[in-house]
A and B are shown apart, each in its own frame.
Chain A
Amino acid sequence: MDLFQYDFMLRALVGALIIGLAAPALGIYLVQRRLALIGDGLGHVALTGVGAGLLLNHSPVLVAVIAATLGAVLIELVRAYGRTSGDLALALLFYGGIAGGVTLVGLSDASTGSLNAYLFGSLTTTSRTDLITIGVLGVVLLVTMLVLRPALFAVCHDEEYARVSGLPVRALNLLIAVGTAVTVTIAMRAVGVLLISALMVVPVATAQQVTRGFRSTMTAAMALGLFAAGTGVWVAATADTAPGASVVLVAIGSFLLVALAAAGLRALRRRTRTDRATSPAEPAEHEVLLR
């Protein structure tokens, strides 16, 4: 592994691994809530933060965290209280976010190259400060998602029941929203605004092809995220491809492989089952027999 003798490659690898582990740990709650693409939208909003940061000569990542958090809270409020216009409000926020970002970056002295770095990721330029930010936020995120797993599971699984259980539903929802914003901003370094949802969602989608429970899905998704991040950076270093895109392609490749294998296994199992289909017929489901 000569490639990793360079500091910048090592930093890229460590950053990618942290994100690979943390992103699915949060993404699973988004998938459970069928909000898989929310991360994508928040990435757009984060871009406005990046633009503002570049324009004001402040740390773009920090301003992006603030912008994405505000966006996430706004989306959560729309989700909780909004009615029919929720869909439109989200669209306005997302497209406003990306347009604002492009405009602000254009106004600043930054080159189009730096816009590209945020759109598609730029792992190899990860600085020591970036790595510390990613590390601290990643660990806080991971610990929160793991410690609060039962409560977050309950809220995402059945919100009304969670309310009758006396859980702080609003606070937990906001926590997921803010966690999404934080994940988006730290993952922005690795895969870029446009590919963020992939790291949060694809490992979860892969895991649930074979898992039966929530906890096992979460564990498997985190392992898959770690694998995709490590392999992706290695592929990028050897084949000289874009690291962010390579990580995402590895994740999607794993999904296809696992999905095909799982489908094959299911077909095989079904065949063996019909071969010995002598078991007594089970009662039909949803049978209504009231007297």
Chain B
Amino acid sequence: MTPPVIEIAHATVGYDGRPVLRDVSLTVTAAEVVAVLGANGSGKSTLVRAALGLVPVGAGSVALFGTPQRRFRQWHRIGYVPQRLGAGSGVPATVREVVASGRLARRGVLRPAGRADREAVAAALDAVGLTDRAGDPVSTLSGGQQQRTLIARALAGGPELLVLDEPTAGVDAASQEAFSSALRAFRDGGGTVLLVAHELGPLRPLISRAVVVHQGGIAHDGAVPEPAGHHADPGHEHVHPHCDEEPARLWTGI
């Protein structure tokens, strides 16, 4: 039997000795699409960041593809999509250059980009519908298009597991559509997905399992919960901003 893609067992994760998650366990098997849900500040982003080794795990264990995370080296099997592009660097970079970074995990630091790399970058740009913007500086793109750039970067490496941190927060409708179709194609190709979300929106039909993080623990693991309250109202337009005033920023250490 193949080992699970992600296996977190009794993990305690915290910043500066202050635990954010306590005794948390989560297993993701191949071809699953798992959504990690929860309120802002619940620790849902911390959970996936701990799985990737971006925050240290105090107690418990994390394994990726059956290898303890500390000894895991096959990073080309994982595509990571952060919440957003950093504050924007001082030097311009084209969409294609950013997406090409996604090939580094596969080809290594020293080998120059070859034809296979260029083709993978072109395919990834096509998958998110940004081929016509490939030569433009990333800073001139809308928030949603920047998010699609980051997804293309993750896809370019040809990963088996895609880990996304709030991919649809503050993303316009057209980008959400492009985004869910790219994700659907990835799943149909046999890929595994772990994504953090505050709201599922158009991604809902893709999710095979939902995990709800609440107050540093896992409160629910199973079917996707029905939206409650005014969020369930079909006419509800989700217009309040999520990301900018997010108190979570205080403890994710970004």
A290 within 8 A of B: yes
A114 within 8 A of B: no
Q: Choose, from A102-110, A121-129, A131-139, A148-156, the stretch at the interface.
A: A148-156
List the A side residues contacting B102 at CB < 8 Å.
Answer: 165
Is the CB–CB distance between A288 and B94 below 8 Å? no
B136 within 8 A of A: yes
Is the CB–CB distance between B52 and A164 below 8 Å? yes
Chain A nearest Cβ from B73, distance in angstroms: 6
List the B side residues contacting A164 at CB < 8 Å.
Answer: 52-54, 75, 78, 80, 163
Chain B nearest Cβ from A173, distance in angstroms: 13
Is the CB–CB distance between B94 and A161 below 8 Å? no
Q: A-B pairs with CB below 8 Å: how many?
A: 138
A164 to B51, CA, bound (A): 11
- Interface residue from A151, A214, A215 paired with B104 (Cβ < 8 Å): A151
Is the CB–CB distance between B93 and A283 below 8 Å? no
B17 within 8 A of A: no
Is the CB–CB distance between B97 and A215 below 8 Å? yes
List the B side residues contacting A168 at CB < 8 Å.
Answer: 109
Q: Known interface pairs A150-B104, A165-B101. Does A285 touch B142 (Cβ–Cβ under 8 Å)?
A: yes
Is the CB–CB distance between A208 and B91 below 8 Å? yes
A266 within 8 A of B: no
B116 within 8 A of A: no
A163 to B94, CA, bound (A): 21
- Interface residue from A165, A214, A288 paired with B239 (Cβ < 8 Å): A288
Q: Known interface pairs A148-B109, A161-B101, A165-B101. Does A212 touch B92 (Cβ–Cβ under 8 Å)?
A: yes
Is the CB–CB distance between B93 and A153 below 8 Å? yes
Interface string of B81-92 (1 = CB under 8 A from A): 010011001111
- Interface residue from B82, B94, B176, B241 paired with A214 (Cβ < 8 Å): B94
A167 to B109, CA, bound (A): 7
Nearest chain A residue, comparing its CB with the CB of B143: A286
Interface size on B, residues (CB 8 A): 56
A172 to B110, CA, bound (A): 12
Nearest chain B residue, comparing its CB with the CB of A36: B90
B42 within 8 A of A: no
List the B side residues contacting A211 at CB < 8 Å.
Answer: 92
List the B side residues contacting A154 at CB < 8 Å.
Answer: 101, 104
Q: What is the interface residue range for chain A against chain B?
A: 35 or more
B201 within 8 A of A: yes
List the A side residues contacting B52 at CB < 8 Å.
Answer: 164
- A–B pairs, 15, beta carbons within 8 Å: A32-B89, A36-B90, A147-B110, A150-B100, A157-B101, A161-B101, A166-B73, A213-B97, A213-B137, A214-B92, A215-B97, A286-B143, A288-B240, A288-B241, A290-B176
A158 within 8 A of B: yes
Chain B nearest Cβ from A287, distance in angstroms: 4
List the B side residues contacting A58 at CB < 8 Å.
Answer: none
- Interface residue from B94, B174, B240 paired with A212 (Cβ < 8 Å): B94
Is the CB–CB distance between B142 and A213 below 8 Å? no
A202-244, CB < 8 A from B: 204, 208, 211-215, 217
Is the CB–CB distance between B91 and A204 below 8 Å? yes
Chain A nearest Cβ from B98, distance in angstroms: 7
- Interface residue from B74, B86, B163, B234 paired with A157 (Cβ < 8 Å): B86
Q: Which one of A156, A158, A288 has the highest number of Cβ atoms from chain B below 10 Å of its Cβ?
A: A288
Interface string of A264-291 (1 = CB under 8 A from B): 0000000000000000000111111111
B23 within 8 A of A: no
- Interface residue from A31, A153, A286 paired with B97 (Cβ < 8 Å): A153
Is the CB–CB distance between A288 and B104 below 8 Å? no
Chain A nearest Cβ from B68, distance in angstroms: 15
Top 9 nearest A-B pairs (CB, nearest first) are: A166-B75, A290-B238, A285-B142, A213-B94, A165-B105, A164-B80, A154-B101, A290-B201, A287-B172
A46 within 8 A of B: no
